[in-house]
A and B are shown apart, each in its own frame.
Chain A
Amino acid sequence: MTELLKKSKGHHQELEKIIQERDEYLAGWKRAQADYQNSQKEMNSKKIEYSRYAQERILEDLLPIIDHFDEALKHIPEDQKQEAWVVGMFHIKKQMDEFCRKQGLEMFGKVGDEFDPMVHEALGQVDAPEHTGCISAVVRCGYRIGNHIIRHAQVMVGK
């Protein structure tokens, strides 16, 4: 009889251990499932973020080229401005502007704007009493899409 009781007690203990293990495994499995679902969700939101990031990176690399092109146009001698090839260049410029508009790119940073380190990067200060605390010269204009800054404007600040 005691033998039987002992055996039954042993079984009971073993069962408890197994139940405990089962609970542990079930919890672990649920956690793994949850982790997976969460990572799926995160991946979906990341995808959107990455595609936006990729677009911004391309635009960022394109901006200096647009800047340089603008600079080139500024250097066209006055007496050549009516020549057909120059007019053609301005048509290309129009296409570039149209492209930027379609991307939602908006230029910012003008002389006289109040200096704001959230969107402007100060490269130096110059004596310009009429522009104290404001932009006295724009070194490189800034670009944003909506409220998102693609490139900070580099400016000189008046003092």
Chain B
Amino acid sequence: MSKILGIDLGTTNSCVAIIEGGQPKVLENAEGNRTTPSVVAISKKGERLVGQTAKRQAVTNPENTVYSVKRLVGRRFEDAEVRQAEKILPYKIVKSGNNVKVSMNGADYTPQEISAMVLAKLKADAEAKLGETITEAVITVPAYFDDAQRKATKEAGEIAGLTVRRIINEPTAAALAYGFEKKKDEKIAVYDLGGGTFDISILEVSEDTVEVKSTNGDTHLGGDDFDQVVIEWILNEFKKQEGIDLSKDPLALQRVKESAEKAKIELSTAHETEINQPFITNGEDGPKHLVMTLTRSKLEELVGSLVEKTFAPVRKAMEDARMKAGDINEVVLVGGQTRMPMVQKKVEEFFGKKPHMGVNPDEVVAIGAAVQAGVLQGDVKDVLLLDVTPLSLGIETLGGVMTRLIERNTTIPTSKSQVFSTAADNQTSVEIKVYQGEREMADANKLLGRFMLDGIPPAPRGVPQVEVIYDIDANGILHVTAKDKATSKEQKITISGSTGLSDAEIEKMRKDAETHAEEDKKKKEAIEHKNMADTLLYTTEKALKDAGAKLTDDERKPILEKMDELKQVKDKDDVEAIKKAVDALSEAIQKIGEKLYQSAQQPTEEPMNQGTTEQEKAEPVEAEFEEKQHE
């Protein structure tokens, strides 16, 4: 069965997603972008251009370039919205019966025909990407669209060669993207601040339905207004500094526009950004540079009133839905401008809860449409729900470090193995301690079980190879096996409670790991350095012994001195001192490297690896492990 496209047919940009392998996925267009401008043009040569190409030639061909046609879809010529659009849109809007048409290159088109051109490109690009023919789609529309507008949107799909399986509301799609349709009796607020429009919708989820309780918004407020404020600020600042008005210079203005947008985006993650456009223009006394710093707080001061402006419609929508802010269970953010921390903060303040923003706000509507498409095509049912391990599983290695074999969020069933070795010469047994958790130090995690593997033939440290295999079956039962590769002797343990933790326990363990991340990292680092020091001392001693008479006492002396120095610091917690002593010793060895080279080679491959508690030590034997898997 062919795929059903989920399409967010936006006022300024459109986005397409599908369900693949049970997961929604946004499809890139032919140009490699995840969104496509909803712009159509007929070029002077009579070619039809759609998307980015149409947008790039817009200024040279304004009367034949149609954008924002969504504002006209399904409208009657008399509608106030059409009157307003006529004033700001550069292309010609004509009356056709009771409805409207737009003119391009001497021909008149209905808004749905224009939308169909956008949809046809989206369809063709999706087909090219997927390598199959697409015939069906789910298309989203604003919650306030009336029947005529919905019908016209459906018609647009049909003109483009798509059977429109369903028209769904944009806020509903956003809620679907987060899986909220399953949350019975919940009330959801969808705050959608896009490039040019703002919408707020209040949804209520009941038995199998998502109902729009109220909707409101501002059809002329969006991210572009935010950009404009920043542009004006830059122009004013420059005028103050240099006395030059850059707005008169189209080339400079273009650079200012681009820097303003870039600065705005950067300030969503950084607290400060530098606008740096050297040689922006020429003054009487030579070239002028536009260099200024914009802070996040300054930006917030500049656009604060715009953000505030969104809350009047929000209040109105709450009133219409007869709800108080506290009644809302979930808040969803849609639209690129909601990436701004201030928007998120204000929304959180208003509703008293953190808004959801895990899904890319530019794509969340298309993803929700794809989820709906997935339900229609029955894909979702086919998906076998596989569990994941909620926490990492590993063993304790030298110095009490947690060495993870299976990382958390690994899909089960799964199996991982790693080869470890001994930490001391002639060690004949190793203890395997199985831990679960995210902390770097084993004893801060949960001990699930322990066992001994003995009968390892005596050998120098680092030589024996003990393979440890962690296997979690589909029921979440963990089987741990340790096997001495030389003797094939093995021991195993089965742990059935490994996933028996409650959600709260899991959450607590994750939080613990987060709060202790920094100190754990330091502790682990200290142990690693200590282990490295131990290894270096061991190999140096061995090398000196092996070198025998090849080294004179004079050559030995500096090395022995450096070894003593390292021994003195290695058990203290001063990482820097250990590092220094290790470097000094390494340097000393290198000086007589030639003679030591051969003997130092052999067991020295171990330096970085952590071994286990006075027992095992890790060794990177990835290749062997790989082979083993395929046997």
Contact = CB atoms under 8 A, between A and B. Distances in A.
Report if A and B associate in a common complex: yes
Interface of A: 28, 32, 35, 39, 68, 71-72, 75, 115, 117-118, 120-125, 133, 137, 139, 152, 154, 156-157, 159
B59 interface: yes
A133 B44 CA distance: 9
Contacts of A139: 251, 254
A102 to B, nearest CB: 23
A117 B50 CA distance: 11
B251 A152 contact: no
B486 interface: no
Contact of B278 (A71, A122, A125): A71
Contacts of A121: 56
A58 to B, nearest CB: 16
Chief secondary structure at chain B's binding surface: mixed
28 contacts: A28-B384, A39-B21, A68-B278, A71-B279, A72-B279, A75-B287, A115-B57, A117-B53, A117-B56, A117-B57, A118-B53, A122-B56, A122-B57, A122-B59, A122-B60, A123-B59, A123-B250, A123-B251, A123-B254, A124-B59, A125-B59, A137-B251, A139-B251, A139-B254, A152-B56, A156-B250, A157-B59, A159-B60
B286 interface: yes
Contacts of A156: 250
A81 B382 CA distance: 72
Contacts of B256: none
B72 interface: no
B279 A75 contact: yes
A32 B411 CA distance: 13
Contacts of B277: 68
Residue with the greatest number of chain A CB neighbours at <10 A, chosen from B44, B58, B278, B286? B278
A72 B286 CA distance: 12
Contacts of A115: 57, 60
Given A72-B279, A75-B287, 10 more contacts: A28-B384, A115-B57, A117-B57, A122-B57, A125-B59, A137-B251, A139-B251, A139-B254, A152-B56, A156-B250
Contacts of B468: none
Given A32-B384, A35-B21, A75-B287, A122 B279 contact: no
Interface of B: 21, 43-44, 49, 53-54, 56-60, 250-251, 254, 277-279, 286-287, 384
B286 A75 contact: yes
A39 B23 CA distance: 13
A115 B279 CA distance: 27
A133 B494 CA distance: 76
A129 B251 CA distance: 20
Contacts of B278: 68, 71-72
A101 B250 CA distance: 31
Contact of A157 (B60, B250, B254, B286): B60
A35 B21 CA distance: 8
A137 B277 CA distance: 20
The 9 A-B pairs with the shortest beta carbon distances in the complex, nearest first, are A117-B57, A71-B279, A121-B56, A117-B56, A122-B60, A157-B60, A117-B53, A122-B59, A68-B278
A110 B43 CA distance: 21
A22 to B, nearest CB: 16
A139 to B, nearest CB: 5
A28 to B, nearest CB: 6
Contacts of A120: 56
Contacts of B53: 117-118
A150 to B, nearest CB: 11
A115 B45 CA distance: 12
Contacts of A125: 59-60
A68 B255 CA distance: 12
B43 to A, nearest CB: 7
Contacts of B58: 122
Contacts of B250: 123-124, 156
Contacts of A157: 59-60
A40 to B, nearest CB: 13
A151 B461 CA distance: 58
A156 B253 CA distance: 13
Contacts of A122: 56-60
Nearest to A121: B56
Nearest to A152: B56
Contacts of A72: 278-279
A33 to B, nearest CB: 13
Nearest to A132: B44
A132 B374 CA distance: 50
Contacts of B57: 115, 117, 122
A123 B60 CA distance: 8
Nearest to B257: A123
A148 B53 CA distance: 15
B461 to A, nearest CB: 38
A71 B286 CA distance: 13
Contacts of B54: 117
Contacts of B56: 117, 120-122, 152
Contacts of A68: 277-279
A77 B198 CA distance: 52
Nearest to B58: A122
A70 to B, nearest CB: 9
Nearest to A32: B384
A28 B278 CA distance: 61
Nearest to A77: B286
A58 B287 CA distance: 28
A70 B2 CA distance: 52
A159 B21 CA distance: 52
B529 to A, nearest CB: 33
Contacts of B49: 117
A125 B63 CA distance: 14
A89 B27 CA distance: 45
B304 to A, nearest CB: 30
Contacts of A39: 21
Contacts of B44: 133
Contacts of A118: 53
B629 to A, nearest CB: 14
